[in-house]
Amino acid sequence: MTYRRTGTKHYTLTRKFSRLVLLLSLSLTLLAACRPQRDHQGYTDAEVIENKGSDTLVNLALAWAEKYMEENPQVRISVTGGGSGTGIAAMINGTVDIANASRAMKQEEIEAARANGITPVEFTVARDAIAIVVHPSNPVERLTLQQISDIYTGKIVNWAQVGGEDRPIVLLSRESNSGTYLYFLEHVIRLGDPESDLLFSPETLLMPSSEGISAEIRQNPNAIGYDGLGYVTPDQKLVAVARDPYSPYVLPSIETVNDGSYPISRPLYMYTAGEPQGEIKRYIEWILSEGQAIVPELGFVPLK
Amino acid sequence: MEERHRRVNVDNVPPRLGEFIIESLIKVAGFSSIGFVVLIFLFLLREGIPVFFEVEPANLFSTRWYPTFGLFGTLPLISGSVLVTLSAIIIALPLGVATAVFVREVAPNWVREILKPLIEVLAGIPSVVLGFFGMTLLAPLVRKALGMPTGLTAFTGALVLAYMALPTIISVAEDALDAVPKSYRDAGLAVGATQWQTIWRVVVPAARSGIVTAVMLGMGRAIGETMAVMMVTGNAARMPLTIDSLFRPVRTMTATIAAEMGEVAAGSVHYHALFGIGIILFLLTFTINLTAAATIFKKRRRGGLR
């Protein structure tokens, strides 16, 4: 009898214990579920702005955030990269306040946002020029857009065809859905013609990072690459570009992008979910005015 | 009865509860790891299966991978992965087995004591470090030595991957050699065979199934490797059909997923296509691991040569 009673006691103990575990895990889940909201509303002394997206923009966005937080210590801005698509998706899902993008939002993304009850608002925050780079020993100084297009579609395969040495051309590109890739394809390879269906040659090496491009350019005299002007290191040689054979050849610089003479430049965007309010609004207004002063320091081109 | 009751009450109940807690924790941990694998697989299927309906098979198995323009040909990616992995194993197999034989059969004890931990350290080098090494040092060397237009080739990737698969191959092959009974060696030497003949004709064949497992595991490691491969193979989605393809850039499945997932619009066809590649990759590694497991199983049934 007594033995059996102990058994029951043991049983109730474990029952109690498992209930406790259940309760604990439930409350933990609830706590975890509450957390994101708390981050936004629980801070009384600091406003938090989440900023995420394009890797092209990430350094600039960081510089802006640091400067702004220096001037406005009550605001905390967190900046992460990950890509334009990642940032826009996060903005649509409501996990970030501002999405950085080096391309305009796609139709399917705008629809996804609408489906979530969000109307994205677009701000052009700076300009980026795409520079054509080659190995410093490459004698080729200048190319027309048409020549660059022919090189990247595989029509021109030897540097001798554009006035260089007799060497094969190795094509370098950014990854296939970085904003830089799309911009380069539409405005250089397809020469801005929306009817064109030209594509990068399948021989094109797609590099996962700007560092990948600069490392290969530095060591390979056969290579040609393109990247944002802000990411071109001094040990790569810039090529002067002309719209057509009759136009002047122009090297990319802040001046030539701003006066419109350099042919390959693009706008960079920030997106907010709906018209920005409060601190986010003040931050974006600051970026569009005073914030522009630090844009040239990062190799981008400020808005006029 | 009374004594038994006391014993139960004083000694057994508190430990039983403690035991129960620990047991259930271990159970939860054990089952959750299985659960996570199943959940990951289900997630992979949920995200990847749609692509097989959204994209026609003719497109999906064509040779052009331009995902931003609706061309989802996965053949260059599959063949790229296979080319790089197989070449890596062809390089790593003789090196790995030779090292294992040296460490286990030839080297004196003190050398073995130094070599074994060093090989373990080799396994701990982060792949991004190897990738950077391959990109900045190996690629220029390959380009100059072979006179190819670029050093970012399938071959460079295979070299880096071989290096990464080596620790796995060496450790597993060494274990296999270790499990060959001493009597085999004694018998070999007793009939007048030299040490080399004993190793090559007796010990290595006896450990064959273990060595096959080593290679399979190394291959599994190599085909799933991402970062290093992405940094050194050039990632050009071309079909490796010509003879010199090994010395040309290729694009692997893993590199494609890693490079494109960051920028893809969630829920788009391209997103599903990347998960579709994930399914193909999963099936490939699953087959390889299954083959390795089958070899181990066969070997166990035959009576325990590891």
**What would the mean pLDDT of A250-262 be, rounded to a whole number?**
86
- Rounded to two decimals, what is the model's pTM? 0.73
Interface check for B183 against chain A (CB to CB < 8 A): the answer is no
Distance CA B86, CA A14 (A): 54
**What would the mean pLDDT of A173-186 be, rounded to a whole number?**
80
**What would the mean pLDDT of B32-53 be, rounded to a whole number?**
92
**The pLDDT value given to residue A237:** 94
For residue A134, what are its two tokens? 């080659």
Interface check for B147 against chain A (CB to CB < 8 A): the answer is no
**What would the mean pLDDT of A127-154 be, rounded to a whole number?**
93
Distance CA B215, CA B92 (A): 9
Q: For residue A125, give the amino acid letter.
A: V
Instruction: Give pLDDT tens digits for A86-116.
Output: 899 999 998 999 999 988 898 999 999 999 9
Largest CA distance in chain A: 107
| DSSP 8-state symbol, B69 | G
Q: Give yes or no for residue B100 having a pLDDT over 90.
A: yes
Interface contact B151-A220, CB threshold 8 A:
yes
CA pseudo-torsion sign B69, B74, B75, B81:
positive
Interface contact B235-A182, CB threshold 8 A:
no
For residue B175, what are its two tokens? 């274990």
Token look-up 């880096």 returns: B160
User: How many other C-beta atoms are found inside a 10 Å radius of the C-beta of residue B113?
Assistant: 10
Interface contact B268-A108, CB threshold 8 A:
yes
Interface contact B5-A175, CB threshold 8 A:
no
**The pLDDT value given to residue B158:** 95
Reduced to 3 states, what is the DSSP secondary structure of residue B244?
Answer: helix
In this structure, of A76-85, A177-186, B24-33, B176-185, the range with the lowest mean pLDDT score is A177-186
In this structure, of A38-47, B43-52, B57-66, the range with the lowest mean pLDDT score is A38-47
User: How many other C-beta atoms are found inside a 10 Å radius of the C-beta of residue A129?
Assistant: 23
Q: For residue B124, give the amino acid letter.
A: G
Return the residue of A nearest to B73 by Cα: A202
In this structure, of A31-45, A79-93, B228-242, the range with the lowest mean pLDDT score is A31-45
Instruction: Give pLDDT tens digits for B116-127.
Output: 999 989 888 898
Percentage of residues in chain A having pLDDT higher than 70: 84
- H or E element: which one contains B116? helix B109-123
What's the gap between Cα B121 and its chain centre?
Answer: 17
How many Å lie between the alpha carbon of B267 and the closest alpha carbon of chain A?
9
Q: For residue A52, give the amino acid letter.
A: K
List the one residue out of B81, B20, B72, B244 whose CA is nearest residue A16.
B20
Chain A residues touching residue B235 (CB < 8 angstroms):
175, 205-208
How high does pLDDT run on average in chain B?
87
Chain B residues touching residue A216 (CB < 8 angstroms):
135, 139, 150, 152
Distance CA A181, CA B235 (A): 14
Interface check for B152 against chain A (CB to CB < 8 A): the answer is yes
How high does pLDDT run on average in chain A?
83
Q: For residue B250, give the amino acid letter.
A: V
Return the residue of B nearest to A13 by Cα: B17
Distance CA B19, CA A300 (A): 64
Task: Please say whether the beta carbons of A172 and A163 come within 8 A.
Answer: no
Q: Give yes or no for residue B225 having a pLDDT over 60.
A: yes
For residue B104, what are its two tokens? 């286990």
**What would the mean pLDDT of B44-52 be, rounded to a whole number?**
92
Q: Give yes or no for residue A184 having a pLDDT over 50.
A: yes
The residues with which A270 forms a beta bridge, in sequence order, are A100, A123
Instruction: Give pLDDT tens digits for A162-178.
Output: 998 999 999 999 887 66
HEC secondary structure over chain A: CHHHHHHHHHHHHHHHHHHHHHHHHHHHHHHHHHHHHHHHHCCCCCEEEEEEECCCCHHHHHHHHHHHHHHCCCEEEEEECCCHHHHHHHHHHCCCCEEEECCCCCHHHHHHHHHCCCCEEEEEEEEEEEEEEECCCCCCCEEEHHHHHHHHHCCCCEHHHHCCCCCECEEEEECCCCHHHHHHHHHHHCCCCCCCCCCCCCCCEEECCHHHHHHHHHHCCCEEEEEEHHHCCCCCEECEEECCCCCCCECCCHHHHHCCCCCCEEEEEEEEECCCCHHHHHHHHHHHCHHHHHCHHHCCECCC
Chain A residues touching residue B136 (CB < 8 angstroms):
215, 219
Interface contact B150-A222, CB threshold 8 A:
yes
Distances B43 to A85, A90, B9, B50, B275 between C-alpha atoms, Å:
21, 20, 49, 12, 9
Interior angle at CA B256, CA B254 and CA B260, nearest 5 = 125
How many residues are listed for chain B in this entry? 306
Residues 46-65 of B with CB under 8 A from A: 64
For residue B173, what are its two tokens? 């092959």
Which residues are within 8 A (CB) of B216 and not within 5 positions of it... i.e. 6 or more apart?
Answer: B288, B289, B291, B292, B295
**The pLDDT value given to residue A26:** 53
Which residues are within 8 A (CB) of B42 and not within 5 positions of it... i.e. 6 or more apart?
Answer: none
User: How many other C-beta atoms are found inside a 10 Å radius of the C-beta of residue B28?
Assistant: 12
Distance CA B295, CA B86 (A): 19
Interface check for B265 against chain A (CB to CB < 8 A): the answer is yes
Q: For residue A260, give the amino acid letter.
A: G
Distance CA B133, CA B160 (A): 9
Task: Please say whether the beta carbons of A54 and A289 come within 8 A.
Answer: no
Distances B34 to A29, B31, B41 between C-alpha atoms, Å:
21, 5, 11
Interior angle at CA B85, CA A175 and CA B236, nearest 5 = 25
Distance CA B181, CA B304 (A): 10
ipTM for the complex shown: 0.76
Pairs across A and B, CB distance < 8 A: 121
Q: Which among B150, B263, B265 has the least Cβ separation from residue A170? A: B150
CA pseudo-torsion sign B84, B278, B292, B33:
positive
How many Å lie between the alpha carbon of B225 and the closest alpha carbon of chain A?
15
**What would the mean pLDDT of A155-161 be, rounded to a whole number?**
94
Q: Kindly indicate the confidence band of residue A35, based on its pLDDT and cuts at 50, 70 and 90.
A: very low
For residue A203, what are its two tokens? 């021989």
For residue A276, what are its two tokens? 């920005």
* Structural domains of chain A in order of their starting residue, each with its CATH number: 47-127+267-298 (3.40.190.10), 128-265 (3.40.190.10)
The residues with which A76 forms a beta bridge, in sequence order, are A48
